[in-house]
Amino acid sequence: MSRIFPETFKASEKRLKQILPKFVRCLTSKPNNEYDVIVVGGGIVGTASAREFKNRHPTLKMAILEKENDLARHQTGHNSGVIHAGIYYKPGSLKAKLCVEGLRLTYQYCDEKKIPYKKAGKLIVATTEKEVLLLTDLHDRGLKNEVPELKLLKGREEIKKVEPHCEGLEALWSPHTGIIDWALVTQHYGKDFQQLGGEIRLNFEVNGFHESDDPNFPVEITSKDTATVKSKYVLTCGGLHADKLAELSGCARDPRIVPFRGEYLILNPSKRHLVKGNIYPVPDPRFPFLGVHFTPRMDGSMWLGPNAVLAFKREGYRWSDINLSELMDALLYPGFIKMALKYPKAGLREILKSWVPSVQVKELKKYIPVITVEDVSRGPAGVRAQAMDSKGNLVDDFYFDMFKTGGNSKIGSRVLHCRNAPSPGATSSLAIAKMMADKLEQEFEIK
């Protein structure tokens, strides 16, 4: 028969007193899974929108549901990290207004929170006479959009004052274009949201919206691991899964999200001195994507690219990342087929850039001629959630959706979907958040 020494007993008694209250609380407490407003999606747009709405309505109980184990794991954490100035967008358009306002709000927020950034500037370089004409139009757009301190540089010598190793005929110089870590910014938005009393629930992959048995919280949201929460109202900002989330509440499939992967090269450290800031091409209006560019990073590295190829899954960062269901969903979509037939040569060239880095380097040499294929290595990739309609047109504006009629109408009118938050979504995030909050108040009549 074993003996229990007094010292052992005392230690056990002390430990029992420590854990017993916690054990009792676990048995008696019931997690409160009822909310006034839930935001689905923990990217930069969803998190910023939740933060803004909670700030306006501090008494509402709110939560962010994110399927990953942290915020900003996909588009937000895999982009180029540029703070855009608003040059490209049609004057008077929502994108132009939100970007210019977002630029100002981002710098203000980062100064307040002491988030590191750098105003590296952006040079948009014309290398042909045709591009010079396009650059003039771009300059006019930027001035109408009130892009701060935008300047047209005439001639090679003016360009070299900004970028000594860059070649070109003319260029636009935007000194207030910056670089930043957008995932870090999103973490700060999330911390603000929590300090205001909001909850962030990670590892919650939403797989359904249903009518609950509680009239006070009529929307029941389920997850793949069978967890459930209830809410009065829901906003989804699903990025790469925005169309799937909309379908779950009864909305139509269109516009569809077609994932495009952008692959970067990295400039070797010994050649980083060749580029000081962002160097961009003049956009070709015939094609939907911007083209390769030089992008400095906050860690001191220099990214080159990206190309644009169809990703074989919604979160496919490599050629080997394949989801057959998601791949066939994209390939058989009439919109994608029409777009692919419209740009066959351009599409094949983008694939070639992925397989043969020298093809991408050849385009980069137009701006920094001394760069060779030996000066680069393969780098990271990001996936862009490109909203596309059935005619093959890329949706270039914000698209909201609600299902208000039919079988699911009791909850459909309480679930608002942001199905497209186009680039520059990160730069515009604080401005977009204000628009989202206005939209929530309007649709759900929240005063």
Q: Where are the domains of the chain?
A: 34-73+184-255+396-444, 118-179+260-384
Each residue of 349-390: pLDDT tens digit?
999 999 999 999 999 999 999 999 999 999 999 999 999 999
Q: Is the dihedral of CA 8, 10, 14, 20 positive or negative?
A: positive
pTM flag (> 0.95): no
Q: Which of 6-10, 124-128, 392-396 shows the lowest mean pLDDT across its residues?
A: 6-10
Give the phi and the psi of residue 340 in degrees, each rounded to 5: -65, -40
What are the DSSP E strand ranges found in 268-394? 278-281, 293-296, 302-305, 309-310, 376-388
Angle between helical axes of 324-331 and 334-342 (0-180°, round to 10): 60
pLDDT at 289: 75
pLDDT at 406: 52
For the segment(s) 34-73+184-255+396-444, the CATH number from 3.20.20.140, 3.30.365.10, 3.50.50.60, 2.60.40.420 is 3.50.50.60
Judge whether residue 27 has pLDDT over 60: no
Q: From CA 99, how far away is CA 397, in angstroms rounded?
A: 13
**The two domains 34-73+184-255+396-444 and 118-179+260-384 share their CATH topology (first three levels equal):** no
Mean pLDDT within 402-429: 84
Q: Output the average pLDDT for the chain.
A: 91
pLDDT at 31: 53
C-beta separation of 318 from 379 below 8 A: no
Judge whether residue 30 has pLDDT over 50: no
pLDDT more than 90, % of the chain: 86
Each residue of 121-157: pLDDT tens digit?
999 999 999 999 999 999 999 999 999 999 999 999 9
Residue, of 12 and 59, whose pLDDT is higher: 59
pLDDT at 422: 84
pLDDT at 409: 60
For the segment(s) 118-179+260-384, the CATH number from 3.30.9.10, 3.40.47.10, 3.30.1780.10, 3.40.190.10 is 3.30.9.10
